[in-house]
Amino acid sequence: MTTISPLIAGNWKMNGLSQSLDELTELAQLLTTGEAPRAVVVVCPPATILAAVAAQGASSGIMAGGQDCHVEASGAHTGDISAYMLADAGAQFVIVGHSERRASHAENDDIVRAKAEAAIGAGLKPIICVGETESERDGGSAESIVNQQLSRSIPDAAEHHEIVVAYEPVWAIGTGRTPTLEEIAQMHANIRARLVERFGEERGNTLRILYGGSMKPLNAREILNVDNVNGGLIGGASLLAKDFYTIISSV
């Protein structure tokens, strides 16, 4: 069985001002004074404080990531941020295809794939999000929806460049609801099978699959113990250093 080092990524979403760096300072202290974390730790703050997070986190091993990127490297795209800009600010990862982007900005699988390609081109590791809505889950089409997203959103370049897949059941994000451990295991096993099918045993079994969707300090350990769960994409709980550290320590 291939051993995959877990990754815990915090998505701050549209939260965080310069004073929020105090939480990062506290997280860094917890990570460096407590037991050494057995996970790769990534914080994805708003772009306004990305460079500060990258600089401040470096000494404690905290990596920085962007929350989105444009498909183009530069140009007349007012208000947008390219993958190269994120890399220039110190990012090593970038989230693409988050359900909130898919819903609020009408991003389809083709756009997500183009963003992932742009990220890889800039030397970033894309965290590619997939997941079904409540109606799709209740209608029995969760796996087919996720499989379609995987097929269309992951670029062929993933065969030779590092990517991360994040499964986030849309109905569990910020609602406090979570799938059962069995449901998580089934979907992650399905995702693993699709990755192996596309990229082969050796490659498909080394790609990280994160779980995202109301992971909290209270349920992190049991979720992270599920087969094929190689870490988490954490929303609200990543905003507070103590909560995020508890999740990291659950690995």
Positions annotated as catalytic residues are 98, 168
Residue type, 240: L
Given a contact cutoff of 8 angstroms between Cβ atoms, the answer to whether 212 and 167 are in contact is yes
Q: Which helix (H) or strand (E) holds 201?
A: helix 201-204
Please classify residue 75 by burial: count the beta carbons closer than 10 Å to its beta carbon, then call 0-12 exposed, 13-18 middle and 19+ buried.
exposed
**Residues forming a β-bridge with 178:** none
CA 194 to chain centre: 18
DSSP 172: G
Q: Are 72 and 118 in contact, with CB atoms under 8 Å apart? A: yes
Cβ–Cβ under 8 Å, residues 238 and 10: yes
Residue 235 near residue 243, CB atoms below 8 Å = no
CA distance 123 to 87: 7
